[in-house]
Structure 1
């Protein structure tokens, strides 16, 4: 465990240097990950996303059946706001810089290096996904299609998202709504067109009412989470229409996040009814049910005891929403979520290094226990 640092730094930097934003193919970064998996059985799970882009999730295993699975995703958010090269993979002083360094190519590298460091007698699986930032398709495909997972039956899954190595026992999942209004494009001065935005006005007013209700109605809140109210975030897209053009298409996208104790149906029903009244075309996409383990679950107790920090919940979502179908999940990884999705994203190298022996210890502990005790 004393010579892993250069491997960790090099792998993390290499991964950051490859563009794998969710809307582009991740095959290049998947190839770099696979090159680091010497000695593992590797399963490639190829698919084409909804936009026709080639994608690949990876499952890798060594040792016998059972044990701990370490999971992370290869995709990143867009490079919005970056003023320097997002894919520099630059190591400067104590930090690795670049898009995805924290969320979550640095943690993925730590998972791989930890798995490599384990003796052959300790079973370990790597679940390396993609499209986590959008549809969670990679995790879903692993849960549904992986023969290697079915054969090796990991007893527990550690999703290494950046939590500052605080165990997260549960988090919210989302319903993603897309509402589309259709108009007629024309020069706005002629009176011949119809601006799709006008169809949105009443719908948007109702969405603001839902937003307020989530902050005011205790029946839609969960005191185990911070904030207690659910996220209801809205983005409007006129698809590049100019101000002197009647907008032909106006799209509203809403992400509604809810925890396991919150019934989402009142919000879902209200959005559907509002879209119907406004004459909008509405579609929905859902993550899996919000994953949540009790604080006294054996996996949560093991992680909390190992890192010496009490578990908590998180307001965001992770691949655990899909991977919980395979085994109980805890979210635990190096880095700070506050760095994620920013135009100056970076991760402290010492944090990545410190995570490796923790992952090794947890893998050994899980392997030493009966499956029912994890």
Structure 2
């Protein structure tokens, strides 16, 4: 079987794991751990139980040079660290070929299935690349890190940072970090973060023909007005712009729902939410503070969402320029977030992976075979650059 055919088969197998974030990713993590061990990696698994009671598993795998006797933790070792996530977004309303988002279909030069692009295809590309670089050639360590819950708040990445001994070794070594999210194999040196807040108003339900109810929406009106006004300010006030991103704004987004099912019921609960995309020099926290003050004075409940931090590595830094030499082209920024915001202890990092963000989270998600092949080729070059001594 040709190498690309093996990788297509591997991707189809990983797509077969229903690893939507609301479920456990233990099964796919066990499968990936076996693949890593077969490639000579030592794998550390850490687990936690999420708010739904689901077991989540993170993997931190390390492959040292053959016969390595270096003592870990003495001097920075460099090398390369690749990061991905094994969870995927829900797949309801699937319109792709075959009708089952977890039964991959290879058609017209594409691999269809939930997670094919975001980001199981990227992981398969890195596994294939690692297989292409013999351990005997390695002079620096290679890490592959697989997190849970990236799609729902980066909880897996935070758990690794706080609880993984292997990640502590990785930080001390300060390797080049690659976040393998889909960028079309173009180098991304910076991305926005994400944060948010929820406001809840409590009333009392009753038949709307009586005066017994308290409409929860009434207390919500002032915060909705402020949400609208501040959102407009983020579009017009240059203090909340960073032209290094497109769009250059905080991408202020909000919504409201009272969950009411009939017009003759006084709404008992009303909830409003805000989401914004923070940037390295513009975080919007002053605007959130105004909202929290208004909510407190209106008697609303306030809940902050942890979200994720932005990433900024200077475009002219050596690590970005080296990666651009491998990938071709110039570095750019993107407005989506990644696990990379949680790995701020790493001083060298880029987002770089096969596939395009336009295919992620769609109802017919796919990864082209050309992108998978390109990912394997370029990832192997990156491993060679950072893990193999130059002749």
TM-score, structure 1 as length reference: 0.92
* Shift in Å, 1:277: 3.2
**Counterpart among 130, 134, 151 of residue 152 in structure 2:** 134
* Shift in Å, 1:144: 2.4
* Mapping of residues 263-282 of structure 1, within 5 Å: 263-282=283-302
CA–CA distance in structure 2, aligned partners of residues 236 and 15 of structure 1: 37
8 Å contact kept, 2:59–2:147: yes
| Alignment-derived partner of residue 22 in structure 1 | 21
Structure 1 residues 34-70: Cα deviation after superposition (integer angstroms, max 9, x where no partner): 2221121011110112333211111111124531111
| Alignment-derived partner of residue 336 in structure 1 | 356
| Alignment-derived partner of residue 253 in structure 1 | 273
| Alignment-derived partner of residue 46 in structure 1 | 47
Which has the higher mean CA deviation after the structures are superposed, 140-149 or 126-135?
Answer: 140-149
| Alignment-derived partner of residue 352 in structure 1 | 372
| Alignment-derived partner of residue 72 in structure 2 | none
Q: 1:254 is paired with a residue of what secondary structure?
A: strand
CA–CA distance in structure 1, aligned partners of residues 293 and 58 of structure 2: 37
| Alignment-derived partner of residue 129 in structure 2 | 114
| Alignment-derived partner of residue 69 in structure 2 | none
* Shift in Å, 1:291: 1.3
CA RMSD of aligned residues (A): 2.1
* Mapping of residues 303-342 of structure 1, within 5 Å: 303-342=323-362
| Alignment-derived partner of residue 60 in structure 2 | 59
**Counterpart among 68, 76, 81 of residue 80 in structure 2:** 68
CA–CA distance in structure 1, aligned partners of residues 199 and 350 of structure 2: 34
Q: 2:311 is paired with a residue of what secondary structure?
A: coil
| Alignment-derived partner of residue 248 in structure 2 | 228
Which has the higher mean CA deviation after the structures are superposed, 291-300 or 273-282?
Answer: 273-282
* Shift in Å, 1:259: 0.8
| Alignment-derived partner of residue 78 in structure 1 | 90
Residue 9 (1) aligns with residue 38 (2): no
Which has the higher mean CA deviation after the structures are superposed, 233-242 or 121-130?
Answer: 233-242
Structure 1 residues 94-116: Cα deviation after superposition (integer angstroms, max 9, x where no partner): 11112222111111221222223
**Counterpart among 152, 157, 177 of residue 157 in structure 1:** 177
Q: 1:133 is paired with a residue of what secondary structure?
A: helix
CA–CA distance in structure 2, aligned partners of residues 341 and 201 of structure 1: 33
CA–CA distance in structure 2, aligned partners of residues 21 and 243 of structure 1: 35
Closer/same/farther in 2, CA of residues 70 and 181 from structure 1, 3 Å limit: same
CA–CA distance in structure 1, aligned partners of residues 169 and 116 of structure 2: 32
Gaps in structure 2 of 5+ consecutive residues: 66-76
Structure 1 residues 160-191: Cα deviation after superposition (integer angstroms, max 9, x where no partner): 10111111101111222121122222333444
| Alignment-derived partner of residue 103 in structure 1 | 118
CA–CA distance in structure 2, aligned partners of residues 368 and 72 of structure 1: 22
8 Å contact kept, 2:308–2:337: no
| Alignment-derived partner of residue 125 in structure 1 | 143
CA–CA distance in structure 2, aligned partners of residues 354 and 262 of structure 1: 35
**Counterpart among 173, 178, 183 of residue 203 in structure 2:** 183
Structure 1 residues 338-373: Cα deviation after superposition (integer angstroms, max 9, x where no partner): 111222211112101111111111122122579xxx
8 Å contact kept, 1:110–1:355: yes
CA–CA distance in structure 2, aligned partners of residues 304 and 127 of structure 1: 22
CA–CA distance in structure 1, aligned partners of residues 87 and 264 of structure 2: 37
Structure 1 residues 214-252: Cα deviation after superposition (integer angstroms, max 9, x where no partner): 111101100100001111222334457444433322222
Which has the higher mean CA deviation after the structures are superposed, 144-153 or 88-97?
Answer: 144-153
CA–CA distance in structure 1, aligned partners of residues 269 and 389 of structure 2: 57
8 Å contact kept, 1:287–1:322: no
CA–CA distance in structure 1, aligned partners of residues 2 and 343 of structure 2: 32
Closer/same/farther in 2, CA of residues 277 and 145 from structure 1, 3 Å limit: same
Q: How many residues are matched?
A: 369
8 Å contact kept, 1:143–1:325: no
